[in-house]
């Protein structure tokens, strides 16, 4: 896990909102599944800046990257409304198993996962409540093939993917990439342990290789367009070296709109 008690990296701050680069392994706030945890982004950021913060959206515990908070109740309501309507444009980088098509759109409804239900339990038969529309666009940025036999094949294939969720379902990108048989590396719920462990040895970290690196959002008071960017983290950088990927594809400024994006 990347999470620790170091200072959180602040990407943007004014009187109404603040955005941080959340490390992998850090929960946004307490959930029923993690009652034993003591460190949360809400608590750490509150203590770091010395004032209350309001979470307005979520990132999975293992996902790193852009995370937005409000600094007052009015702004919290305005920002939360944007996320509820799927208005912020978000882009992620993911390292996945296999070589997916160069680009595509995954339009696959997802059943709701309650915080109190472990997704692994749902997979074993504890069905969540209802299916909801869910759409993710993606683009393949780079590929690699290692001469290591993990499955029934003599080599192991991986790819760097840029993904943009057009809806905001729980674990959406992870579940959608699993749906097309290209799960995110490091995903203990939807991926494969042997591949996760192998790639962890290559990058020196055991983490979910999914990062929100770019977000456009409207300011809750002025309505101005705010652009938030951050890097995907050292695990991605190390894999770029190992796999021979151009490090430029990891830079937030290298992200370009996916065709047909909002």
Contact yes or no for 54/70 (Cβ under 8 A): yes
Short-list 51, 72, 94, 67, CA closest to 9: 67
Q: Which helix (H) or strand (E) holds 123?
A: helix 119-123
Identified catalytic residue from 47, 60, 107, 151: 60
Which of left, alpha, beta for 180 (phi over 0: left; psi -120 to 50: alpha)?
A: alpha
Vertex 161, ends 253 and 68: CA angle to 5°?
55
Q: Cα–Cα distance between 19 and 75 in angstroms, integer?
A: 13
Q: Cα–Cα distance between 168 and 241 in angstroms, integer?
A: 32
Within 8 A by CB and 6+ apart from 94, the residues are 160, 161, 162, 163, 173, 177, 184, 185, 209, 210, 211
| Annotation says 60 is catalytic | yes
Short-list 174, 178, 165, CA closest to 134: 165
Active site residues: 60
């Amino acid at each position: 896990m990347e999470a620790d008690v170091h200072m959180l990296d602040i990407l943007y701050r004014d009187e109404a909102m603040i955005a941080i680069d959340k490390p992998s392994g850090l929960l946004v706030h307490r959930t029923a599944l993690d009652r034993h945890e003591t460190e949360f982004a809400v608590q750490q950021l509150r203590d770091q800046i010395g004032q209350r913060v309001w979470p307005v959206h979520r990132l999975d515990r293992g996902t790193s990257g852009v995370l937005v908070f409000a600094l007052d109740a009015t702004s919290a309501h305005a920002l939360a409304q944007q996320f509820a309507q799927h208005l912020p444009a978000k882009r992620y980088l993911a390292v996945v198993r296999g070589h997916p098509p160069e680009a595509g759109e995954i339009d696959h409804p997802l059943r709701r996962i309650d915080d109190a239900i472990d997704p692994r339990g749902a997979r074993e038969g504890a069905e969540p409540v209802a299916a909801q529309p869910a759409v993710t666009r993606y683009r393949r940025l780079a590929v690699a093939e290692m001469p290591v036999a993990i499955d029934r094949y003599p080599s192991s294939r991986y790819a760097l993917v840029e993904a943009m969720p057009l809806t905001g379902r729980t674990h959406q990108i992870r579940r959608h990439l699993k749906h097309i048989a290209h799960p995110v590396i490091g995903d203990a719920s939807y991926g494969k342990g042997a591949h996760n462990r192998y790639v962890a040895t290559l990058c020196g970290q055991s983490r979910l290789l999914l990062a929100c690196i770019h977000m456009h959002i409207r300011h809750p008071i002025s309505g101005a367009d705010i652009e938030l960017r951050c890097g995907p983290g050292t695990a991605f950088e190390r894999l770029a070296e190992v796999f021979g990927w151009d490090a430029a594809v990891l830079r937030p400024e290298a992200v370009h709109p996916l065709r047909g994006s909002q």
